[in-house]
Amino acid sequence: KLPTDCPPDVAQLGRSSWTLLHSITAQYPENPSPEKQSETRTFMQTFAKLYPCWHCAGDFQEWMKNGNAPRVSSRDEFGRWMCEAHNAVNVKLGKKEFDCGRWEERWRTGWKDGRCDF
Ligand code: FAD
């Protein structure tokens, strides 16, 4: 594991990026305006092109093209879509899939067992 003050490797970049992406879904409106939905679609397409791990970016673009265009009609839709995107990478890397019914506990409200309460 690299110290955090060195240039990030693919794993460190990934963890930081998922934190940003899931946090964006956590703050997304429950009823987004058409303009917000359009900006969000554009953001995800641009993100997938600029993501600074080129083979990751290529696979992510392919995944979106293959019937997985961003679903941005509500916070829950977008949060679940992001969870599915992350799970597609988890599967590719041989990691466990995350239960997308719990995306909001992980990224917005905190776990129901109180482990995020301080
Ligand atoms: P991460 O996968 O980074 O997850 C961080 C935390 O998110 C976890 O601890 C868990 O609490 C939570 N979490 C896990 N799964 C989900 C989910 N489905 N929904 C919500 N929360 C979840 N790495 C590669 O080696 N090759 C690639 O091709 C590749 N492609 C990537 C594409 C994108 C768009 C991004 C953002 C990252 C990619 N990565 C890739 C990085 C990879 O996904 C991981 O971030 C990295 O391997 C570090 O994994 P980690 O086990 O520390 O946890």
Q: Identify the structural domains of the chain with CATH numbers, from first to last.
A: 18-108 (1.20.120.310)
Any idea which residue has 């934190």 for tokens?
19
pLDDT in tens, 59-98: 999 999 999 999 999 999 999 999 999 999 999 999 999 9
pLDDT of residue 1: 73
Which atom number of ligand 1 is nearest to the Cα of residue 51?
34
CB 48 within 8 A of CB 57: yes
Quick check: CB of 89 below 6 Å from ligand 1?
Answer: yes
Which atom number of ligand 1 is nearest to the Cα of residue 55?
28
- Choosing from 18, 97, 98 the residue with most ligand 1 atoms within 8 A of its CB, the one to mutate for a pocket test is 18
Quick check: CB of 43 below 6 Å from ligand 1?
Answer: no
b/e string for 4-33 if b means 16 or more Cβ within 10 A?
eeeeeeeeeebeebeeebbebbbebeeebe
* Residue nearest atom 14 in ligand 1 by C-alpha distance: 98
pLDDT of residue 12: 96
> pTM for this structure?
0.98
* Residue nearest atom 32 in ligand 1 by C-alpha distance: 56
